[in-house]
């Protein structure tokens, strides 16, 4: 497919204590039970706060993961119970960090911690002006590719934590880094299927950076803005029909009905024509199947990475048969790119779902947000 972007991961657990410390063991168990989980929307992340430390659990680091990960974030002077000693312990706040997905960059910047970033794989994909300036100043090292990070460079950088992601359990690069003594934390934000679920992973970075309160405030603002926009969309008196995706070779790929992308259209009070399809990934269809259902649809939103009507027509002249093409009601995120060609949508949208939802509402119900300027999506000319 033209653009398939995967995003990051992490995990969880709690334990047994050694013999000979029965009194201490009893206290530890009571404390563990009393922990407060600060996560409410993300399904694959939990952060339990205790006096002097936090327990971070990532239960869905990749699709259909059988095991999760548990990390202990130790504050200065914090005492870690014996029952948690077997887990990876990270001293917080961390002062240097390597992240491996562009979706991690906005969290650092929103928390005012972009100066903690010391390395990133494929830096050309980063669109943010702030972080690009640090790359140009050689303050962010190129560390290879996510699936094969440069071990020597990583060891020389010696970051206090590496926030990584993987599509499955077979990631030899991260295993090698851990053997070399580096601390790897998996981020599973990309496996979340709700807009607020993805966005809430900013709290992981807040916990690592000692900015829990800031992360909570930022997320609560995003959550409120999202819910307020959704409430506005409920006032719509029409339900315009929408289709998405585009052909790649002989197959049309579009979001399934339970996917992250489809949720935005539902919350915008649009009639996504594949809303009833089951699944959280992409449906694979023929051109004929899509055309039969979407020929008269009102809007075509997110047609791959095409940035003009001409590009679409050059790729497939049959696209011109859709009513949305005839009426120039085609909207794409491909026009907003960083200096090196990276898509701002892929980088920022998971952290700012409120902006995505407002874009959707402005497109399908312009009367509801008359003063709002599209942020990610633009009409193709």
pLDDT at 205: 98
Give per-residue pLDDT as tens, 178-237.
Answer: 999 999 999 999 999 999 999 999 999 999 999 999 999 999 999 999 999 999 999 999
pLDDT at 26: 36
pLDDT at 145: 86
DSSP letter for each residue of 145-192: ETTEE-HHHHHHH--SEEEE--SSS--HHHHHHHHTT--EEE--GGG-
**Residue 171 — very low, low, confident or very high, per pLDDT cuts 50/70/90?**
confident
Report the alpha-carbon distance of residue 283 to residue 253 in Å, rounded: 6
**pLDDT exceeds 80 at position 292:** yes
Report the alpha-carbon distance of residue 286 to residue 232 in Å, rounded: 36
pLDDT at 35: 73
DSSP letter for each residue of 25-39: HHHHHHHHHH-EE--
How much of the chain exceeds pLDDT 70, in percent? 91
- Look at the block and give the residue holding tokens 């599209």: 374
Domains and CATH numbers, the chain: 22-223 (3.40.50.1980), 234-379 (3.40.50.1980)
Give per-residue pLDDT as tens, 241-261.
Answer: 999 999 999 999 999 999 999
Contact assessment for residue 332 and residue 306, using Cβ atoms and an 8 Å cutoff: yes
**Residue 87 — very low, low, confident or very high, per pLDDT cuts 50/70/90?**
very high
Average pLDDT, the chain: 91
**Residue 21 — very low, low, confident or very high, per pLDDT cuts 50/70/90?**
very low
Query: What does the longest C-alpha to C-alpha distance in the chain come to?
Result: 78
| Cβ within 8 Å of residue 188, ≥6 positions away | 8, 9, 10, 11, 44, 45, 58, 59, 60, 61, 62, 65, 165, 201
Give per-residue pLDDT as tens, 152-163.
Answer: 999 999 999 999
pLDDT at 34: 54
pLDDT at 254: 97
DSSP letter for each residue of 341-354: S-BHHHHHTTT-HH
Contact assessment for residue 377 and residue 363, using Cβ atoms and an 8 Å cutoff: yes
**pLDDT exceeds 50 at position 17:** no
Nearest-Å Rg of the Cα atoms of the chain is 22
Written as six digits, the tokens of 130 are: 């702030």
Give per-residue pLDDT as tens, 98-109.
Answer: 999 999 999 999
Phi, psi of 203 (to 5 degrees): -70, -25
Phi, psi of 244 (to 5 degrees): -150, 180
> What are 67-76's contacts with CB under 8 Å, separation 24+?
67/11, 67/169, 68/10, 68/11, 68/12, 68/13, 68/44, 69/10, 69/11, 69/12, 69/13, 69/185, 69/186, 70/11, 70/12, 70/13, 70/14, 71/10, 71/11, 71/185, 73/207, 73/208, 75/210
- Overall average pLDDT of the 5-31 stretch: 33
Q: Which of 14-28, 81-95, 228-242, 307-321 has the lowest mean pLDDT?
A: 14-28
Phi, psi of 31 (to 5 degrees): -65, -45
């Amino acid at each position: 497919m033209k653009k398939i972007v995967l995003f990051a991961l992490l995990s969880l657990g709690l334990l047994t204590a050694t013999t000979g410390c029965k009194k201490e063991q009893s206290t530890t168990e009571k404390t563990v039970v009393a922990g407060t989980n600060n996560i409410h929307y993300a399904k694959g992340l939990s952060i339990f706060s205790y006096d002097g430390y936090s327990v971070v659990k990532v239960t869905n680091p990749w699709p259909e993961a059988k095991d999760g990960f548990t990390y202990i974030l130790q504050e200065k002077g914090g005492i870690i119970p014996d029952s948690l000693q077997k887990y990876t312990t990270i001293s917080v706040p961390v002062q240097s960090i390597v992240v491996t997905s562009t979706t991690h960059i906005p969290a650092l910047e929103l928390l005012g911690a972009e100066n903690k970033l010391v390395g990133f794989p494929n830096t050309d994909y980063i669109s943010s002006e702030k972080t690009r300036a640090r790359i140009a100043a050689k303050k962010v090292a190129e560390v290879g590719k996510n699936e094969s990070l440069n071990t020597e460079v990583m060891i020389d950088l010696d970051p206090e934590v590496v926030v990584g992601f993987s599509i499955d359990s077979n990631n030899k690069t991260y295993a090698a880094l851990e053997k070399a003594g580096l601390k790897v934390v998996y981020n599973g934000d990309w496996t979340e299927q709700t807009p607020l679920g993805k966005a809430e992973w900013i709290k992981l970075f807040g916990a690592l950076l000692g900015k829990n309160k800031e992360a909570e405030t930022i997320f609560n603002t995003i959550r409120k803005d999202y819910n307020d926009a959704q409430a506005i969309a409920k006032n719509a008196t029409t339900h315009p029909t929408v289709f998405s995706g585009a052909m790649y070779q002989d197959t049309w790929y579009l979001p399934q009905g339970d996917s992250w992308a489809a949720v935005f259209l539902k919350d915008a009070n649009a009639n996504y024509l594949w809303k009833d399809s089951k699944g959280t990934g992409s449906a694979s269809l023929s051109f004929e199947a899509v055309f039969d259902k979407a020929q008269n649809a009102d809007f075509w939103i997110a047609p791959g990475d095409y940035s003009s009507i001409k590009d679409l027509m050059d790729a497939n002249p049959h696209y011109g048969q859709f009513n949305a093409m005839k009426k120039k009601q085609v909207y794409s995120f491909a026009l907003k790119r960083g200096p090196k060609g990276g898509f701002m949508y892929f980088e920022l949208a998971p952290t700012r779902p409120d902006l995505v939802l407002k874009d959707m509402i402005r497109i399908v119900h312009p009367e509801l947000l008359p003063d709002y300027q599209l942020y990610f999506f633009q009409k193709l000319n």
